[in-house]
Amino acid sequence: MTEVVLFHHSQGLTTGVRALAAELRSAGHTVHTPDLFDGRIFDSIEAGVGYANETGFRQRGVDFAAGLPAGVVYAGFSLGVMPAQQLAQTRAGAKGALLFEACVPASEFGGWPKGLPVQIHGMDADEFFAGEGDVDAARELVEGNAEAELFLYPGDKHLFADETLLSFDAEATSLLTRRVIAFLDALDD
């Protein structure tokens, strides 16, 4: 069993984020899904980002993790990648990272820790992931790092793994979920 903290995206802790967490739990893993928006769900990415900026989203995520033991995998969707990546890179004992639809340059948090496994998932024509440089940061992180994998899915949808949103892509989400479970299972060995 691998322990995971899964940070939601800018629209909040939706039923779709909870559904993916439930799939990981049914595969035998412990998954924490902190609600950094205190129950608020937003209809748009922009509204959620605005709220996140007002409430200190990333710091709230870091604060949540302070109460957890070492040996955790940090995961996040889009905006949720910010606390996940920061914690994976800076918190002692991090076990791995799962970055969905976002990635910042590893230099943002002092460089990627040697030997820390990571999977990065995103659509190859997503206006946010591919269009704003995240895919470039992901490629840089993966280059020369045997513990890092980048998975690009065909399409232009952002938040494609959230079944409650119009951007949901069932086929890509199924593949993402299989890859994530295999990643977590391998860390449990």
Positions of the chain with pLDDT lower than 70, given as ranges: 189
Q: What per-residue string of b and e applies to 42-76 under the rule 16 or more CB within 10 Å gives b?
A: beebeebbebbeeeebbebbbebbeeeeeebbbbb
The Cα–Cα gap between 57 and 36 comes to: 6
The strand order across the sheet containing 148-153 reads: 30-32, 3-7, 72-77, 96-100, 118-123, 148-153
* Tally of domains in the chain: 1
pLDDT at 189: 62
**Three-class secondary structure of residue 144 per DSSP:** coil
pLDDT at 4: 98
pLDDT at 144: 85
What the block records as the tokens of 125 is: 């024509």
Give the predicted TM-score (pTM) of the model: 0.96
pLDDT at 188: 78
Full domain range(s) for residue 51: 3-187
In the chain, which residue ranges form alpha helices assigned H by DSSP? 15-26, 45-55, 57-65, 81-90, 134-142, 170-187
What the block records as the tokens of 92 is: 């002692």
Q: What is the CATH number of the domain that holds 34?
A: 3.40.50.1820
